[in-house]
């Protein structure tokens, strides 16, 4: 059985609305939720980017069943890994065991704000491995002191720890990140339905672990309106992470996607109100071997109507097809 998730997209809604949306997702029957962790939106038209961890804390208290997860947090520059460990442990306590910590090597879009420059992918993966080690050590209790190549920790300790720490997921996009995730992660995270990523994850120690994918969708009874919204706010999605990780500003993404057409977007993102189209968009993830798929409804203002439709139409159709 494939679990179907809901995405709190911090780039397209304010903090109070995001909490209202995830409450609605729980009521609609989604199996889990994930939350982006950004400092900037991808495009100015998205228009938001509140602090994800404040939103998650409110969501933990406003919901009772739906699991929560960062998708993903970068513990390299904006956040020191010791601080990520503290807030993840706190959130897991607030959510009464419903939180998973999704980590990744980050994007220049969000990390440049602290003025430390943007390292190469090889260096970022070195930093991520070191960060995961620090986080796991702190989850283990006791005082932690480390003087590594990239991070120092001086007698840190988490004073509020859950009995069982949050599971750690690592985002992958290629062989190097798959090797890292296979060795260090409890689950793998990806935004493309590429079986090769999961096969690599398995080769490096990930066999049998959960694998979580993500798919943007654009529901609207008026298909043309759905396509227009997707093009306006999500035309960056098909650029791939080798591009998306490097660009520093929403205006950079606007320039890089200026020639992406509405037809291009409609060919890659399911749009409209035909559940069969959405089912077929999920299918490649299922066939690739993903155990969970988080859907991203494009457009903050479109969430209430989408949640009503998902409850009555989309989720039943997906469960009938995929268990």
* Residues designated catalytic: 38, 107
Contacts of 222 (CB under 8 A, 6+ apart): none
Q: DSSP assignment of 277-313, as one string?
A: HHHHHHHHHHHHT-SEEEEEES-GGGHHHHHHHIIII
d(CA 90, CA 254): 37
Buried b (16+ CB within 10 A) or exposed e, 64-101: eebbbbbbbbbbbbbbbbbebbbbbbbbbbbbeebbbb
- Assign 145 to helix, strand or coil: strand
If you ran DSSP here, which 8-state letter would residue 112 be given? G
């Amino acid at each position: 059985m494939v679990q179907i998730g809901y995405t709190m997209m911090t780039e397209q809604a304010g903090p109070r609305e995001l909490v209202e949306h995830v409450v609605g997702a729980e009521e609609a029957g989604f199996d889990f939720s994930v939350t982006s962790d950004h400092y900037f939106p991808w495009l100015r038209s998205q228009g938001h980017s509140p602090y994800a961890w404040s939103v998650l804390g409110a969501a933990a208290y406003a919901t009772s069943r739906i699991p929560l997860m960062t998708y993903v947090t970068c513990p390299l520059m904006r956040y020191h890994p010791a601080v990520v460990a503290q807030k993840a442990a706190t959130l897991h306590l607030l959510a009464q065991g419903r939180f998973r910590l999704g980590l990744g090597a980050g994007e220049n879009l969000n990390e440049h704000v602290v003025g430390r420059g943007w390292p190469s992918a090889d260096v970022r993966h070195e930093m991520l491995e070191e960060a995961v080690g620090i986080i796991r050590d702190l989850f283990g209790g006791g005082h932690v002191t480390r003087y590594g190549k990239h991070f120092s920790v001086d007698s840190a300790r988490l004073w509020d720890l859950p009995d069982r720490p949050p599971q750690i997921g690592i985002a992958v996009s290629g062989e190097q990140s798959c090797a890292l995730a296979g060795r260090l992660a409890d689950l793998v995270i990806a935004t493309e339905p590429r079986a090769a990523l999961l096969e690599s994850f398995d080769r490096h120690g990930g066999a049998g672990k959960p694998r979580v994918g993500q798919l943007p969708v654009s529901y609207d009874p008026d298909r043309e309106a759905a396509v227009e919204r997707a093009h306006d706010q999500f035309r960056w999605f098909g650029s791939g992470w080798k591009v998306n990780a490097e660009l520093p500003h929403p205006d950079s993404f606007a320039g890089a996607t200026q020639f992406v057409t509405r037809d291009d977007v409609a060919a890659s993102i399911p749009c409209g109100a035909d559940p069969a189209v959405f089912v077929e968009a999920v299918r490649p993830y299922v066939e690739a071997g993903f155990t969970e798929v988080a859907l991203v409804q494009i457009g903050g203002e479109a969430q209430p109507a989408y949640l009503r439709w998902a409850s009555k139409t989309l989720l039943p159709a997906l469960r009938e097809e995929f268990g």
